[in-house]
Amino acid sequence: MLGKSRAGLRTLASLAAASLLLAAGCSSGTTAPAASGAASSPAATANLTMTFLPKNLGNAYFDTSFKGVQTAVAAIGGTVTQVGPAKGDDPAGQVSYINTAAQQQVGALLVSANDKSAICDALKEAMTAGVKVVTFDSDTTPDCRNLFVNQATAEGIAKVQVDMIASQIGDAGEVAILSASANATNQNAWIDMMKKEFAASHPNIKLVDTVYGNDDDQTSFDKTAALLQSHPNLKGIISPTTVGISAAARYLSTSKAKGKVALTGLGTPNQMRKFVEDGTVTEFALWNPEELGALAAHAAAALAKGEITGKEGDKFKAGDKEYTVGADATVLLGEPYRFNKENIANFNF
Amino acid sequence: MTTSVTTQPAAIERTYAAYGRPAWRRVLLNREMAIIGLLAAVLVVASVIVPKFATPTTMGYLLFDITPILFISLAMAPVMIAGDIDLSVGSMVGLSSVTVGLCSQMGIPIAVAGLIALAVGAIGGLVNGLLITRIGLPALAVTIGTLALYRGIAVGLLGTTAITQFDKWWTALIKARIGTTGIPVVMILFVLLLAAFVIMLHFTPFGRGVFAIGLSKDAAVFSGVDAERTRVILFVLSGVMAALAGIYYALYYTSARGDNATGMELQVIAAVVLGGVSVFGGRGALSGVVAGVLLIGVLSKALQLVNVTSDVVSIITGVLLVLSVIAGSVMNWVQSKRVRPVPGSIQSKTA
């Protein structure tokens, strides 16, 4: 008994030693370059160590963003570490990492918020500790961050979808919308703007129907079938939701309407790749997460160097492009990004 | 306090062994001391090699992070020592935080809203307890059901929205630290509750009944323990402590959401098992449980500070957990081998 429990204790002790060795290894691996990076950076006074905190780890979308961040940070001469909760929708997990970043006194924190208010107090504490806070992709309330890098505006999203469908159907004919749910705030706002855009710039396009797939794959699939049946002259479908557009593409790809009825909207490259390659879909839009990450990193660096403070009208450079801070300390990435046969192979999210 | 707590379970569980081993061995060579020792070792090493670890700020953040798990584990430990399990606690944290949020939105003062949430917790625990004891269903099955049920109610009440406006005085109180120590004020409440649970579990006939039920329900009943009543009380306590964690969650994160604390039940159970409580019941001590929760908290914070990602933290926690269970089984097996040739000792076990 005694001998064995000693063995047990030895096991535990050696395990403790092992886990701490691991900690030590990681500590020398990650913090050391951070220090040297800061020292050798061009602006000697600016702290260009950054923490990248996505909604969760192992998420292809955020991994793509992080690629952009890494490229930008390398160009600036800083360092960046990606940390985050293992599962999504975990504001408590994010708070813990925000606190850690504040303690480590990093120069800037890039965060996509899991909850617009739950992580607020932690971000405020971090800002008090001197950390510049940049939200991207998903914002908090404005007083909890220095800057929000917005991927797209509602106007931009509405316009790109109207432009794409107009060019795909020759600017004339019947189109329909396959949306998420009837009370989805984002989608309804975009649909209203699309209607206005059609009326103003595309008088020959007639919006004949709006149906709701409730962001459910099977419902969206069935609604697409029903749309084609009830509107035999339909020339195009817009689906401003990633679930809807992939379900509609799946239906179209095996129906005889393939290639005759155009489909566009908001989708992700991984979901849409095979439908673009087989010709069901010509072009769809979303933003480019890599550019979004790069812009967020450049904005954070500009804040850390004191070049901008986040007030309206502030200008800063991201690569070779200049961006201007808008109202509510928001920077807009630009027009949504169009994915088609030429560029879809470059994306994995 | 640590010493008295650690001697107690040894005395209860292996009365026969107590006579065969000197006092210092009983105190120092058990699973609780192993985990406390490991915690101490990790604390020392982390303080030396992890930059900014040994600061009041870090200790404060660390405790803020694990407070809900500390609260729930106090009640989960007796439930598991009695041979049951409560998987609905994470969902109850969510339901309780939604209750506080909705009440506060209706203009009910936080103190009253908190009491309502605690009542919701007690009712939820009572439902668990009655289904398990009166109908005789396994705790695992019942609480998997209520895990879904309570989460469903919580999400149903608020939908996808969140309530983020709370009385500033209360949120400030929850986030307050004791002087410059960095220790959250809410730890005072925890220490009081810890004392209450230690007395209940380790120093009362009720507590001895809990261990007896875990070792053998029938034997406990025959020796005069009201097993059904005891188990119902434990589930009610579990519901109430989860509700308390829910109140803390809503106020600390100033966010009442239906999906708050999703999956927390597994974090709690992991910490409790790591702390030396047997999943088969009948064995464990709160000293080990608290050390188990702290150990996981300290490891995650230390690894976070050196930028190790959360999956690595999960891997380390998982390995620790598996090793602690294996070590426990091996120790029990060796013990049974050693005791067998001394029949006199076995007979004294029934005393």
Both A144 and A165 in one domain: the answer is: no
Number of domains within chain B: 1
Cβ(A273)–Cβ(A296) under 8 Å?
no
CA B83/CA A220 separation, integer angstroms = 48
Interface check for B28 against chain A (CB to CB < 8 A): the answer is no
Range of the domain at B323: 2-349
| Interface contact B57-A31, CB threshold 8 A | no
Both A147 and A271 in one domain: the answer is: no
Return the ∠ at Cα A232 (arms to A226 and A235), rounded to 5°. 95
Q: Give the pLDDT score at B309.
A: 77
Q: Which tokens belong to B349?
A: 């076990």
**Which of B21, B34, B50 has its CB closest to that of A23?**
B50
In this structure, the strands spanning A330-332 and A234-239 are unpaired
Both A272 and A305 in one domain: the answer is: no
For all residues of chain A together, what is the average pLDDT? 86
CA B253/CA B265 separation, integer angstroms = 19
CA A111/CA A108 separation, integer angstroms = 10
Domain assignment present for residue A82? The answer is yes
Last residue of a domain, one of A286, A311, A344: A286
pLDDT surpasses 50 at B240:
yes
Both A145 and A227 in one domain: the answer is: no
SS3 call for B258: coil
Interface check for B18 against chain A (CB to CB < 8 A): the answer is no
The answer for A105, left when phi > 0, alpha when psi is -120 to 50, beta otherwise, is left
> How many Å lie between the alpha carbon of A171 and the closest alpha carbon of chain B?
39
Q: Give the pLDDT score at A39.
A: 39
Last residue of a domain, one of A286, A304, A325: A286
Both A123 and A230 in one domain: the answer is: no
- Predicted confidence (pLDDT) per residue in B114-170, tens digit: 999 999 999 999 999 999 999 999 999 999 999 999 999 999 998 767 888 899 999
Q: Of A86-95, A144-153, B272-281, where does mean pLDDT reach its minimum?
A: A86-95
Mean pLDDT of A246-273: 94
Q: Of A81-90, A91-100, A162-171, B222-231, where does mean pLDDT reach its minimum?
A: A81-90
**Three-state SS across B288-349?**
HHHHHHHHHHHHHHHHHHCCCCHHHHHHHHHHHHHHHHHHHHHHHHHHHHHHCCCHHHHHHH
Strands annotated E in chain A: 49-53, 79-82, 108-111, 132-136, 147-150, 173-179, 205-212, 234-239, 262-265, 283-286, 315-318, 321-324, 330-332, 337-340
pLDDT surpasses 60 at B94:
yes
Task: Identify the residue among A20, A56, A116, A138 best suited for mutation to test binding to B, counting B beta carbons within 10 A and taking the highest.
Answer: A20
Q: Give the pLDDT score at B6.
A: 47
Q: Which tokens belong to B123?
A: 């009712």
CA A180/CA A214 separation, integer angstroms = 4
Q: Give the pLDDT score at A43.
A: 44
Both A204 and A183 in one domain: the answer is: yes
Instruction: Give the domain CATH number at A115.
Output: 3.40.50.2300
> How many Å lie between the alpha carbon of A265 and the closest alpha carbon of chain B?
25
Both A140 and A196 in one domain: the answer is: no
Other C-beta atoms closer than 10 Å to the C-beta of A70 total 18
- For chain A, the farthest-separated pair of C-alpha atoms sits apart, in whole angstroms, at 89
- Predicted confidence (pLDDT) per residue in B177-236, tens digit: 998 888 999 999 999 999 999 999 999 999 999 999 999 999 999 999 999 999 999 999
pLDDT surpasses 60 at A191:
yes
pLDDT surpasses 70 at A230:
yes
Which residues of chain B neighbour A93 with C-beta distances below 8 Å?
310
Both A244 and A166 in one domain: the answer is: yes
Element (DSSP H or E) covering residue A141 = none
Q: Give the pLDDT score at B161.
A: 78
Range of the domain at A175: 154-286
Both A88 and A237 in one domain: the answer is: no
> How many Å lie between the alpha carbon of A302 and the closest alpha carbon of chain B?
24
Domain assignment present for residue A303? The answer is yes
Number of domains within chain A: 2
Instruction: Give the domain CATH number at B160.
Output: 1.10.3470
Both A159 and A144 in one domain: the answer is: no
Q: Give the pLDDT band of residue B13 (cuts 50, 70, 90).
A: low
- Predicted confidence (pLDDT) per residue in A298-340, tens digit: 999 999 999 999 999 999 999 889 999 999 999 999 999 999 9
Which residues of chain B neighbour A55 with C-beta distances below 8 Å?
none
Query: What Rg value do the Cα atoms of chain A yield, rounded?
Result: 24
Which residues of chain A neighbour B61 with C-beta distances below 8 Å?
96, 99-100, 103
Other C-beta atoms closer than 10 Å to the C-beta of A184 total 17
pLDDT surpasses 60 at A142:
yes
Mean pLDDT of A274-287: 94
Q: Of A148-157, B43-52, B61-70, B332-341, where does mean pLDDT reach its minimum?
A: B332-341
For all residues of chain B together, what is the average pLDDT? 88
pLDDT surpasses 60 at A122:
yes
Cβ(B19)–Cβ(B26) under 8 Å?
no
Q: Which tokens belong to B241?
A: 């402590």
Interface check for B318 against chain A (CB to CB < 8 A): the answer is no
pTM for the whole structure = 0.77
